[in-house]
Each structure stands twice: as structure tokens, then as C-alpha cells.
Amino acid sequence: MTSPTNIGGSVAPGFEQVRTAFERNFARRGEIGAAVCAYWRGAKVVDLWGGRRTPAGEEPWREDTMVVVMSITKGLSAMTLALANARGWLDYDSPVVSYWPEFAQQGKDRVTVRQLLGHEAGLVLLDEQLTVAKLRDLDYLAGVLARQRPAWPPGTRHGYHTLTIGLYMQELIRRVDPAHRSLGRFFREEIALPLGLDFHIGLPPAIPDERLARVQPLSPWRGLLALRYTPPAVTLKMIRPGSLLRRSFMGVSGDPTERAYLEAELPAGNGVGTARAIARAYSVFAEGGTELGITPETMARITALPRMAGKRDEVLGVPSYFSLGFLRPGPTVFFGSSQRAFGAPGAGGSFGFADPDIRLGFAYEMHRLGFYLEHDPREKTLRDAVYASIRTLAAAAERNSNLAAPAQRA
């Protein structure tokens, strides 16, 4: 087995197998450039990066290299609404119109915040394509969002709101925040700066291109190979021109490799940052969120079992589980130690999540996009190695505790 010479970072004692799995991704799974990080019980136990910053170049992926993480952004955006809930600004069970009266158009007056964040509102599509310039005009954008007609009666089904969910999160934050900040600014000032996170929803112009990893686009040839493991229902919806899934990607124009696209705020899909930042954010939530002022009541709402409308995702064509803006574990989509875990995957194979049962925050990111809907082997082997390490360390600690007990009684 060979591995790139520029793998950097470290792992805590007991987590050596995570580094081995990371090296194998380059040697056996075609990894080009990537990073993985994990915090356990509040301490950083894995922080690795390696490979090349660009698919065709020779510049190494460095400690501070960042990459656009697609839908991982949804989870970090959902954290802003959790903070608003903890501060008493936003009630998940209130109608959206109580904060945003114009939202009532097209029969949406009874849609609750919980239904909207659970992908149950049917607001998958937009009736016009949004350019980068329109994304920057938040007042104009609010008008576009308010007039949309649901694709199904809200609350009766659920379906992945591919790009729109972040835009609705954005307007909710603007409405409930006393300072009426954009979601990206709210995230920066209330979450990223207090925690020291190198993550941005709306990339600052001051960050140089040399810090950014360039995404390798999906190719038709690799798409054909992916048919072996992509659920047939998802494949059919992706290739069918009129499907909700295919049309949901067409609402926003822009190239995720271009600065102009990354510098706009698209809270469902253009966050840029390090795996370290994502894992740290989820670690704070896995610890209960008190470092950010998240209350026990808000954490109980986040970790409660999702109450989904319908079993099958109307957009993806397969079962999915969402709650309050996060992906949740379920019978066919499982991660974490229990159904209390929460997070968000990103297109191509990246993933970030919190496991409050064992106090774990985890993140993996890369720039060679894959076609797996979930459990990309590169990410899954790293996640499995983290859990295996924790189990081994926990078992050793229990043995030592049992050995010490007789001596203490004596």
C-alpha cells in the first residue's frame, strides 16, 4: 500500500486506525485531497489532511485548506435556528406566518416552522432561476420565496428541499433576529467567531484562492459506474427531466468552483470551510451546546425522534429522515449511536454530524465528488474507525475500573 507523502495532522493515542483508514483512501479508493476531524468528549482526537489541493495540480492540501462542502452547509445553517430557538426568538411549532406574514401566499398560512425545516412544506421548486445577484438581494429573494406554491399539501408528505431549504432558513433568521442579519453573518458572529471556526456561509473576499481546494466535477463515465450502488429510484429521478429532484437543482445558477458563487450566501449548499471547523461545531452540540448558550430544552427538541409525514421521500424516491433542518438516523439511513444523532451530508461524499450519546463531533470533506447517496466508502471507513477506536478505549477503561474496584474495597 502506498500513500501520499504529504498527509499531515495527528491522532490521539488509540485512534491510530483512523490514520490508517485515511491513508488507504488514497491508496485504494482514488482519494485526491481530503480532510477528516473528530472531537470526542470535547477533545480533538483526530485531525488529518492530505493529498492535493486541486485534482490536476501539485499543491498540497494544507492544514488551513478549505473546500465547498455542498449540503453539509444545511446542518450548520440549522444551528443558527437552534440558537434562535434557545434565545426565545423562534418557536419551532409556530406558524411561519407569525414571523413572516407574506409567507401566507398560495395557501401556506398554516405551515409551521417545524414542517418547513422537516422538508414537509412542499417548497422544493422556484418559479424563476436565481442568479448570484438575486441571491445577494435578500428583500427581492424574500418576495420570490413567499409567492411559491407548494408541490404537495404541506404536512402530508416530505421531500428533500435541495436548495430552497437554506433560503427559507435565511429569511427566518432575518425575521427573528433583532438585528435582522443574514444567516451567513449571523453564523459568523454568533457561532463561528465565538468558537474560532474556519467556516463561512458567504466566503469573504479576503480569503485567497490559494486556501481553496478545487472541486473535481462529476463525470458521465463515473456516473455510469455509480449505477451499481445508487438506489434505482434516485437514478430514475435524476435522469427524468420533469422530476422534482432534477428540477430542484435548477433553481439557482452558478458554478460552485467560482468565487462569485461562493461569496454569495446559499445556506443549503455553498458553505466553505475545514473539516476541523465542522467537527468542532458539532462537538459543541454533542456536548449539549452550552458553550453557545443552547438550552437543554432546545437540545431535547433537536434530539427528539423525527415526526415525518410519509415514509418515502417525494423528491429522492427513497426513505429519508429530517428534523429541524438536520438529517436524522432512521431504519434505512443510519449513523451515530442512536436516533438522537443529527447532522448533514454533502453531495459527493462529505459528512458532518453530532452523536450526543457518546459526545462525538465528526466531519469528513474532500474535493473528488462521488455518487453515493449515503455511506461513501471513503467517509464510512473513517467514521467506522473512529467508532471502533472509541469502543476499544471505552472497553479498556472499564477493565481498568473493574481491576481497581477490589483494591478500593480492600
CA distance 158 to 311: 8
Do 112 and 106 touch, CB atoms closer than 8 A?
no
Contact 356, 288 (CB under 8 A): yes
Please, which residues bridge with residue 354 across strands?
342, 361
The closest of 163, 131, 117 to 268, measured between CA atoms, is 163
* Cα–Cα dist 220/134, whole Å: 30
Measured CA distances, 387 to 26, 187, 222, 345, 397 (Å): 21, 29, 30, 18, 15
DSSP label at 4? Answer: -
Q: Which of 3, 10, 71, 283 is catalytic?
A: 71
Active site residue 71: yes
Q: Is 341 helix (H, G, I), strand (E, B) or coil?
A: coil
Would strands 199-200 and 272-273 be described as parallel, antiparallel, or unpaired?
antiparallel
289 and 185 Cβ atoms separated by less than 8 Å: no
Which has the closest alpha carbon to 351: 373, 331, 332?
Answer: 373
- How far is CA 245 from its chain centroid? 18
N- to C-terminal Cα distance for the chain?
A: 52
> What 3-state class would DSSP assign to 144?
helix
Active site residues: 71
